[in-house]
Amino acid sequence: MTTTEIADTRERLRAAGLRATDQRMAVLTALETHPHADAAEVFAAVLPGLPDTSVQAVYGVLAALTDAGLVRRIEPAGSPARYELRVGDNHHHIVCTRCGAIGDVDCAVGSAPCLTPAGTSGFTVTTAEVTYWGLCPDCAAAPLT
């Protein structure tokens, strides 16, 4: 990260009411280069720079960042929770049924929640979460084994 990017990340943390700790900085940096990563992948990415960290610490940081609205947690069926930095735009996801790769899909119609339910049981709908399933380009091109 450049000096400006580091300062921007620290400011985002502080603006969200969080201290800019080394672990939080490392997790945010990991998610920039590993979108849709699970906690184990984030841990593997931060471990070289923070050898004294633990998987539990990474889970704690991910929870704090999610609660602060800096990170979005998604839970595709059959997959561990995944984390991404793209928040606040109510986008959706597409998951490869063969390899588990995940991609972003922008809202299909209009603004959030971009889907209108037939009934809400009195709830105020703020987000619609859709998961598309299919084959990623690599898996679609690969022969079945």
Task: Tell me the torsion sign for CA atoms 129, 132, 138, 142.
Answer: positive
How does pLDDT run across 86-127, given as a tens digit for each residue?
998 878 899 999 999 999 988 766 665 667 778 889 998 887
How does pLDDT run across 77-87, given as a tens digit for each residue?
888 999 999 99
Residue type, 100: G
The answer to whether residue 38 scores a pLDDT higher than 80 is: yes
pTM of structure: 0.85
- Non-local (6+) Cβ contacts of 91 within 8 A are 104, 105, 106, 107
Q: State both tokens at 144.
A: 């079945």
Q: In which residue are the tokens 């943390």 written?
A: 13
Domains and CATH numbers, the chain: 3-74 (1.10.10.10), 88-141 (3.30.1490.190)
Query: What is the percent of the chain where pLDDT is above 90?
Result: 68
Half-sphere exposure of 25 (CA within 13 A, CB side): 17
Using an 8 Å Cβ cutoff, are 94 and 103 in contact? yes
